[in-house]
Every structure is written in structure tokens, then in C-alpha cells.
Amino acid sequence: MKNLIFILAILLFIIGCSPSKPISDNKEINSKTSDTIKIANKELEYEVIIIDGGFSSWLNSFAKPRGYYSESYMQNRNQIYVTEWNRRVTQPQQYNPTLYEMQINYDFNTKYGYEVNYLIYNYFIYFQITYKQQLAGFVPRP
């Protein structure tokens, strides 16, 4: 049994952060804010884990609501962002290795569903704004 694991976040050890708490299984999102967002789907054998000290509050405060972007739009942007992210991981002398620690295993042919693409897309927007990075030719906007 293979697990497709996305680790999109940089572990931030910030004093005063609330403890991590995973979100429930099968793509359901818990309404409480935490520093860790986890979505797992046992049928497709993947897991998305986003660990970043401010992402949950940013998602709830600034991200466009679910339904604002189409799934295909976010999937296309995610492909561009993942490709650039992975390229930067392989060039630690040029890009900050503390920002780009590990590659993202995102299969462009797999249909992950709206929620997964929504969270990945918004994490990339959050990441670019927070860390003043530009992963593609698009100016990130919340």
C-alpha cells in the first residue's frame, strides 16, 4: 500500500503557537483553528499535511471562500507552483533551503478533489505572501 504524502510546510518553531491538531479524516475540515491541517483519503491513498504557524488563521481570514475558484483553475496553478517548488528544492545554493526543505509529490494525473486542491493552492498563496517569494509569473493575492 503506497501513501502519497504532501508535506507543504516549513516547520516553524514560534514561541506562543498553539499546539498542533490534525483535522478529521475523509476531507472534512474542522472549524477550529490549529497550526496543522491534515486531510487523508484512504481510498485514494494520499495524505496532505500542512504545518505552518500562521496558515490556519490566514486561511480563515484572507483566503477566498470555497467555490470562488474552480477546481481546474486551482489544479492548473498547483501544477505550476509544485513544479517551481520542486525545482527550488533541488537548488539549495540558489534558494533558501529552510524555505524549500523537501519536494512535493503531486501527481498531475490524479484527481485529488476540490478540497485538496483548495488547501494546496491557498498554502502556495500564503507561502508566497508571507515569505515574499514568487513561484511563478503570477502575483499572489489572497
Task: Give the DSSP H/E element, type plus range, for residue 36.
Answer: strand 36-41
* pTM for this model (two decimals): 0.73
pLDDT of residue 138: 77
16-42 pLDDT tens trace: 233 333 333 333 333 344 567 776 666
Q: What is the dihedral of CA 60, 64, 70, 76, to 10 degrees?
A: -90
Torsion sign over Cα 67, 69, 110, 130 = negative
Residues 6+ apart with CB under 8 A from 62: 142
**Per-residue pLDDT tens digits for 109-141:** 988 899 999 999 999 999 999 999 999 887 787
Residue-range domain boundaries for the chain: 4-130
- The pLDDT, as a whole number, for residue 82 is 96
pLDDT band at 5 (very low <50, low <70, confident <90, very high): very low
Residues of the chain with pLDDT > 90, as a percent, come to: 51
Give 23's contacts (C-beta < 8 A, 6+ positions apart): 29, 30, 34, 36, 37, 38, 39
